[in-house]
Structure 1
Amino acid sequence: MNAGSDPVVIISAARTAIGSFNGALSTVPVHNLGTTVIKEVLQRAKVAPEEVSEVIFGHVLTAGCGQNPTRQASVGAGIPYSVPAWSCQMICGSGLKAVCLAAQSIAMGDSTIVVAGGMENMSKAPHLAHLRSGVKMGEVPLADSILCDGLTDAFHNYHMGITAENVAKKWQVSREAQDKVAVVSQNRAEHAQKAGHFDKEIVPVHVSSRKGLTEVKIDEFPRHGSNLEAMSKLKPYFLTDGTGTVTPANASVQGFTEKKKKTL
């Protein structure tokens, strides 16, 4: 994006490892993950915390995280209390939208240096119960905040996986085609991980446990050794009436351009 003759640029980028559900990072509060990354990007860019004009993070599952988790992450990284820090919510596009908002803020002259990105810890998302009026008798149903606040369409009341099925049907994307793309994606991720291509972008997170501190710096998500034969045997997860094509394997593909990757 250009601000007249002065283009808006990204001067530093980093991320934590991608943890699996209930995996190595599952006990770490989301704002601590954010703090870790903010500290690292400032250090890499040689920017002092007090030079930051604003902090914008995408964050979807905020239930139980306390007031303004982005501000918690910002203050934890040493950025002064006087610096505005806030979250935007656009479901899966939240982190990228935060980067767009940062660019707009700089382009408009409202800010000079903005820290932007996204943070999430789905493993710590709570189950919810409405008990304001009390319960005199009977069981209390719990709602999974991952589903009700993140993965369930608010207008049609169905899972995002059903949307994937709808898109596959509309554009006639077969199960075989999805599996082939998924295998290639997993194999490429495995190769890149083993070759160390992700190492520079990952900042280690130290996790406390009964055994002491554990350093987490490797993505848990890529499934090594993925192959088409094994993947084709998986049953569709969202539609079980014989028409489904989306499985846990072929639904777990991450694709983006090189330019977009640098904003994540």
Structure 2
Amino acid sequence: MKGKNVVVTGGGTNIGRAITLAFAVEGSNVAIAELNRTAGEQVAAEVNAMDNGATAIVVDADVTDKARTDAMMAELVSRLGGVDVLVNNVGWTIDRLFVEKSRDEHVKEVDLNLWGAINCINAVLPHMIDRQSGSIVSISSDAGRMGEYREAVYSACKAGVIALSKSIARETGRYGLRLNMVCPGLVVPAQQDVSNPDSMWAQGMQDIFTEDVLERVRRAYPLRRMGTAQEVANAVVFLASDAASFITGQTLSVSGGYTMM
């Protein structure tokens, strides 16, 4: 991945931050597409301090806005000289029963989890087709593979990301493009790491996942522990790299054996 140009949406916090840093360790040039510029700049500073040839820049992003996403991707293609990898990392939900959620929450889940991926893929795809090369890795969820309690619309969106990516993988394989998905298990950031007020972890999720709840989660995983953002990031880098050059349209769960699908 050394010298490759990588775009990570939501690359300033939690799993996105780990993905950004994992690519940087490999010597990639990472564009952090962030709604929260301050969070992005903090991670970019970490990357630029590595002194291994990796670089990081921050671009303002709202993946729910197609016009802004198109403009962002055009800017990055111009500034970087091309985009080799897109990581669709942005995601959001609040755990509640379907009937307890408002219409506004359902719309926000669809906008961020599904339309966000559609908009970003749509923006980068013509460029990658022209180059006859490119890798897109989207963060889905085991919720999208099995349907998860208290995450109905989120599950529907993440299932949509999987089907969307498989369909486009079939359409664009002839151009050398690959699309794959990574499904994390529950990854809870430390409270001190939640710096983005727009993060779902700053909007009530920390209160839902008490220590008692987390202990039940651990028991549900065959490996009997929680996963880390770094473990998710490792899978993303692998699927984006030439080491996975004959892998496309695949869904990899990094969830301690929670689903085994």
> Structure 1 or 2: larger helix share?
2
Using CA pairs below 8 Å that are at least 6 residues apart, which structure has the higher relative contact order?
A: 1
Q: Which has the larger radius of gyration?
A: 1
> Scaled by the length of structure 2, what TM-score is found?
0.31
Give the TM-score taking structure 1 as reference length. 0.31
